[in-house]
Structure 1
Amino acid sequence: MTDTTLIIADNQPLTALALRTWAEKNELVGSIIESPDQQSLEDSLRELSDENVLLIIDVELFDFSDKDELIAFFQTHNQLRKLFIGDHFNEEELFFIAEEMQSNIVLKSVDLEELRIAVSFALKGRYYIQSELLNLLMRKNAAPVKPENEEVHLTPTEKDIVSLIASGKTTKEVAVIRSLSYHTVVTHRKNIFRKLGVSSIHALTIYAIKSGLIDTTEYYI
């Protein structure tokens, strides 16, 4: 168990109760708060340090007026670890959450073991998308990240870093594993994103899977 506070932002009492009961049973966090609306969420966050909070949120059932308000909220609370949940996501919603929110994503129908993995990744600052949703992202991104006539050349070190990032490792963890400084890994990461023409970890993960640098079995274990 960590000293992290879990905030469940969902206005469906049964969903909130189920998540609370599950989290308490698995002893995943230090304390749990339920926030059925934006005002109660803001009130809770005023009493807490953002970096010590894991937010599980269903934005479809929450009272953000539009995407701009949602973006503004997370720009203000940019240290929050977050996991978006929902009954379903259309392609527009999924890409908005993955690209602009840079958030972990699962469906409410997710297997409990995969939910545990998603929460554990979020608690460690890692990136996680449920397998079913990642497959949808991969189908949408069927085209290569670079034009076919533009070959991508990654060094062995860069390929290794890609596989580590795509498997959910944080920049600090990559630095330790590779015996590199944090700033060196940051530089490698910027170069990798530039070479591949990507701007998000989910796009990098899709590249890693398609390139055989990591497989979906490894990703979800």
Structure 2
Amino acid sequence: MTNTILIIADNQPLTAFALRTWAKESELFNSIIESSDKQTLKESLNNLFDEDVLLIIDIELFDFSDKDELLAFFQTHNQLRKLFIGDHFNEEELSLIAEDMQSNIVLKNVELEELKIAISFSLKGRYYIQSELLNLLMRKNSTQVKTGYEEVHLTPTEKDIVSLIASGKTTKEVAVIRSLSYHTVVTHRKNIFRKLGISSIHALTIYAIKAGLIDPTEYYI
């Protein structure tokens, strides 16, 4: 069992019970806390400010008044690892969670094995978006990411770094794989984002899929 604390923020008894039961059996967490409303969630996070926490939350069941309040709430805990779950997500919600907040997200009807992967990625600080939601995000952003790939001149090294980052590798991991310094990879990453006119890893992933640099059937964001 690790020293990670799991917070389940979902007031649907069946979902909360299923997550709690699985979490206990997995032995990935040393304690499990349940929050049924925004106030108890806020109190839990404030009390665990210095702890290692994974939050699994269905924001539709909480009383956030609007997008700004939601963003402000989580900006207070910007180091918190989060996995958003829900019965469905519209384009605005998906964009907010995946792009603005750069958080992990799955539907509640996800298969157990995929949920395990999503939780594992979340614990490792890596990005994960369920493929069904990734496809929706790609359609939404089809006009926002440059489509004239022949006009975007990435070097072979930059293309390799794009594929590695989009496949979930951290900057440190890319540096080791490519035998480059950490700061060199950071510079490459900045140049890639500038050339593509993007500002997030999610947008980079969409570009990588559309440009054929990674295979979406083998990829977890």
Is TM > 0.5 for Structure 1 vs Structure 2? Answer: yes
d(CA) in 2 for partners of 1:9 and 1:146?
37
For 1:169, give the aligned amino acid: K
Residue ranges of structure 2 left out of the alignment (5+ in a row): none
TM-score (norm 1): 0.92
d(CA) in 1 for partners of 2:146 and 2:51?
35
Q: Deviations 1:82-118 (Å, cap 9, x if unpaired)?
A: 1111000111111111111111110000111111111
Contact 1:5 1:29 in 2 (8 A): yes
d(CA) in 1 for partners of 2:71 and 2:203?
20
For 1:31, give the aligned amino acid: S
- CA distance change for structure 1 residues 160 and 7 in 2, over 3 Å: closer, same or farther? same
Query: Which residue of 2 is the match for residue 118 of structure 1?
Result: 118
Percent identical across equivalent pairs? Answer: 84
d(CA) in 2 for partners of 1:112 and 1:149?
37
Q: Deviations 1:18-54 (Å, cap 9, x if unpaired)?
A: 1111122222322211111122112212222456111
Query: Which residue of 1 is the match for residue 155 of structure 2?
Result: 155
d(CA) in 2 for partners of 1:30 and 1:158?
41
The SS at the match of 1:102 is coil
Q: Which shows bigger deviation, 5-14 or 174-183? A: 174-183
Contact 1:50 1:80 in 2 (8 A): no
1:21 matched to 2:21: yes
The SS at the match of 1:69 is helix
1:179 matched to 2:179: yes
Query: Which residue of 2 is the match for residue 12 of structure 1?
Result: 12
d(CA) in 1 for partners of 2:115 and 2:50?
22
Query: Which residue of 1 is the match for residue 204 of structure 2?
Result: 204
Query: Which residue of 1 is the match for residue 139 of structure 2?
Result: 139
The SS at the match of 1:25 is helix
Query: Which residue of 2 is the match for residue 48 of structure 1?
Result: 48
Query: Aligned-residue CA RMSD in angstroms?
Result: 1.9
Contact 2:9 2:56 in 1 (8 A): yes
d(CA) in 1 for partners of 2:215 and 2:161?
15
For 1:164, give the aligned amino acid: L
Contact 1:4 1:29 in 2 (8 A): yes
The SS at the match of 2:151 is coil
Query: Which residue of 1 is the match for residue 67 of structure 2?
Result: 67
Query: Which residue of 2 is the match for residue 90 of structure 1?
Result: 90
d(CA) in 1 for partners of 2:137 and 2:51?
28
Query: Which residue of 2 is the match for residue 81 of structure 1?
Result: 81
* Post-superposition offset of 1:150: 7.2
TM-score (norm 2): 0.92
* Post-superposition offset of 1:171: 2.0
Aligned counterparts, 1:206-221, within 5 A: 206-220=206-220
Residue ranges of structure 1 left out of the alignment (5+ in a row): none
Query: Which residue of 2 is the match for residue 170 of structure 1?
Result: 170
The SS at the match of 2:126 is coil
In the comparison of the two structures, how many residue pairs are matched? 221
* Post-superposition offset of 1:141: 2.6
d(CA) in 2 for partners of 1:158 and 1:2?
37
* Post-superposition offset of 1:149: 8.6
d(CA) in 1 for partners of 2:35 and 2:100?
23
